[in-house]
Amino acid sequence: MNQDIANLLKAALECSIFIEPTDPGLTYQEILEVGQRAGYQPGEVSDAASAVLTAGERTKSNKFITDRMTRQTWAIYFKEEPDYRNFAAFDFVVSQLNERVRSDGMRNAQVDRKIVIERAIASGLSQNDVEAAITYQVLADQLIEKDGVLRFTHNSGVRQLPSETLEQLSRSHRAAMRKDARARAYPIAKDIIERRSDGRPQHVEPLDAFAEQLDKLKYGAFRIWWKQTVGELRRGDPNSSPVAVCVLSAALVEGALTFVVQHARNLNLGVFKSKDFDGAPRSWKIDDLVSSAASGSDTAILDIPTKNRAEILIKTRQRIHAGRMLSDFPNGVPDLRPEEARDAKITTDLVVRRVLDWLEKFPPA
């Protein structure tokens, strides 16, 4: 297991608290996306995720969160860089419970979370920062939350404010602890979490995002086919299986264009108006799909560079047809190089991304 990847994934789980404090954590697919968007390969990300999540726990909404042992170290407030903790918010939460301890005694001291939030907002603090301060301390076993009511753990008495603890520890550890994994993870985790509700596709990867569009295009029954093909493509090795990689890449290009033909024709757009698409889909050819997808002026799906790449992919894919090879290469077909297979994957991403951009411009009803 690559420890750097594991640290990145754990940092992303921690960052989720500050991004979405009322529903912290990440799903398994989101965790894998963090690693892949950071530049790691799917296999090594999966291995690291398995190790991280074996010790991790689940939230009430069934998302993964950092393991308990790691969370307990959060109660030690060292200076860190970058740092997403708002210590004014941390202090406010602790001070609210300190007041209840003085008034009601440590066994009876408790306060409603919603009331703490409202008081914090009235004092000028950000709701998100206060929610994060509460969630962070609950997960660090500094607070207990039950039925929306907060109390200190272990019936402890008046507590030192977190900022005071930070100041004391800073005297012996003056330099801030550099958190490089956190710095890398935060923007990725933030984008992934925001995609849950801001109207963008939940997956930044075009092949994953397109699966979400199939329901809108009324082809939801083909989600399994699409995901299986995508999965096999990703597992394919350009070095050992270049033909398989190219064939699967072309299948996804053909599929993405096929699934939007009827939508384009229903909207009477310039693309796919050819009589080639009057008949049953089984008669459609990938060459015609690519060519027509680049027509239609301002309603075109593909630009010329992407069209040219797709056409190269089509030519490479034809080696699965013995008859076509006999015609095109009577003296024998040249070897397929690994770099051509890698380029096929890139072409597939580009084409599907173009289709997604086009669907944003001309969305299904």
**263-308 residue pLDDT tens:** 999 999 999 998 989 999 999 999 999 999 999 889 999 999 999 9
**Burial of 330 by CB count in 10 Å (0-12 exposed, 13-18 middle, 19+ buried)?**
exposed
Provide the pLDDT for residue 102.
96
Rounded to 5 degrees, what angle do the CA atoms 17, 75, 138 make? 50
For residue 1, the model assigns a pLDDT of 55
Beta carbons of 182 and 82 less than 8 angstroms apart:
yes
Amino acid at site 240: S
Q: Quick one: average pLDDT of 193-203?
A: 74
Rounded to an integer, the average pLDDT of 193-218 is: 82
Q: Write down the residue that tokens 């096999």 correspond to.
A: 232
Token pair recorded at residue 163: 């900022």
Task: Kindly tell me if the per-residue pLDDT of 64 is higher than 90.
Answer: yes
pLDDT of residue 251: 96
Where does the pLDDT of residue 334 fall: very low under 50, low under 70, confident under 90, or very high at 90 and above?
confident
Supply the Cα-derived Rg of the chain in whole angstroms. 27
pLDDT for the residue 170: 86
**37 confidence band (pLDDT: 50, 70, 90):** confident
Q: H helices of the chain, where?
A: 3-19, 28-37, 42-55, 68-72, 87-104, 113-122, 127-139, 162-172, 180-194, 206-216, 223-235, 242-266, 286-293, 304-317, 322-328, 338-361
Kindly report the number of other CB atoms within 10 A of residue 277's CB atom. 20
The most confident of the ranges 46-50, 68-72, 93-97, 327-331 is 93-97
**So what's the pLDDT on residue 203?**
63
